[in-house]
Structure 1
Amino acid sequence: MSESTPSPVYVYEIPVRVWHSLNALLIVALITTGYLIAEPLASVTGEASEHFLMGYIRFGHFAAGYLIAIALVFRAYWAYAGNEHARQIFLPPLLNAHFWQGVWHEILWYTFLVKEPRRYIGHNPLAILSMHFVFVWGLLFMIITGFALYGEGAGANSWAHVLFSSWVLPLFGDSQSLHSWHHLVMWIIVCFVLIHIYVAVREDKLSGQSLLSTIVTGWRTFKSDKPVDDAH
């Protein structure tokens, strides 16, 4: 590493890294169990009480739903309590022209229309924007609609029905429409996760800065002396 190469920067604090890992596991669990709930496995012969597989799958889905909701609440708190990078995906600078210029540049970079990427200490602008809508609003939508569906089955006197089903179901018209929207956003998250993994690997190899190791250690390292776009 040359003398002019930027020094490593501590970016992602432990709570952010733990949330990222936990979120990844919970999203995989929710997608898998959610798909099986929508497309149940073939019935097996024998006494019904001896075959509780779908019951376990539903329990796993509900448990993961509770955990991802709790984790999102904690992550929102850490956006306030943590460093500036902890709040990036919660408070994107949508009124900043330079931010949108950076979003456009990242789109060109990912589509191979520019030769050189920009480098950032934190998330790049396109990552901030996409994760804001998927990992904040997308997860919030899935949590609200998920608890509304859960409350529908739990009954009119349950806390989930009172807090969620009572107003979410009328908002979407009926239960089937709510199920359809819940499934649709699930597929949007699936597509985003696949793109997210591809981009992370690609950036780690081509952008001149660490990415995969950063979410593990918290430290951003740079491989050249090219300027960092969001350095203060």
Structure 2
Amino acid sequence: MVNARYDGHADWYDSTFRSYGDGDGGGSAGLLARLLGPADPGDPLCLDVGCGTGLHFGAVAAEGYTVVGVDLSADQLRIARSRNPRVARADAGRLPLRDRSVPVVVMTFTHTDVDDFGAVIAEAARVLRPGGRLVYLGLHPAFVGAFLDRTGEVASGEVRVASGYGDERLRRDEAGPVRSRVGSRNLTLSTFLAAFLSQPSLRLVSVDEFDTRMAPWHPAPTDGRLLPWNLAVTAHAAA
């Protein structure tokens, strides 16, 4: 049975990460909306897989999309439903949707929360209509997680590579506000990208790096960060 890790943590999650829903400033919702662009008025459906408490609903809807959220956590959906009544409880690895039935799929910050990210991307590819789009936004697999210690990055310009870097069995569930509550799955960048590249119906369009403020990453940052923090992937389903 798949574990709904965020049950019992939804109120904490929503209050802690409320700024992610900022559609105008540096929130991930605003970046997601920009990556999506305006909806097709004739086909505006957008499936938000792993929607959590629905922090991204508003910014996506502002682009003209009719958003439907899916998450495994009933506790998360309790809050998401207050933002959008079109939600359903389902496993991201077994979506209750027909093949080729959805024009747009979005996912945010889910690859650290699922045991089989490849299966989740495979399901997204299955339900996408020919020519449909998949946009994924999340923490950078190569630079955020148990592989690296970035606590001294800004203050002292120091990033430490953890022993066992690249070993996906490496876990630090006790560290950080999220991992200490729900744990974390750590993927290498190659495994992360392979989840998309292994789907014959998907064509990778772009892979973009962003800083902590959801601005495009530049090698000479002004905030003291030595490495990018977020990563976005856009893929299209074969026509």
Q: Greater share of strand residues, 1 or 2?
A: 2
| Range of TM-score over shorter length | under 0.3
Structure with more of its chain in helix, by fraction: 1
TM-score by length of 1: 0.25
* Structure with max Cα Rg: 1
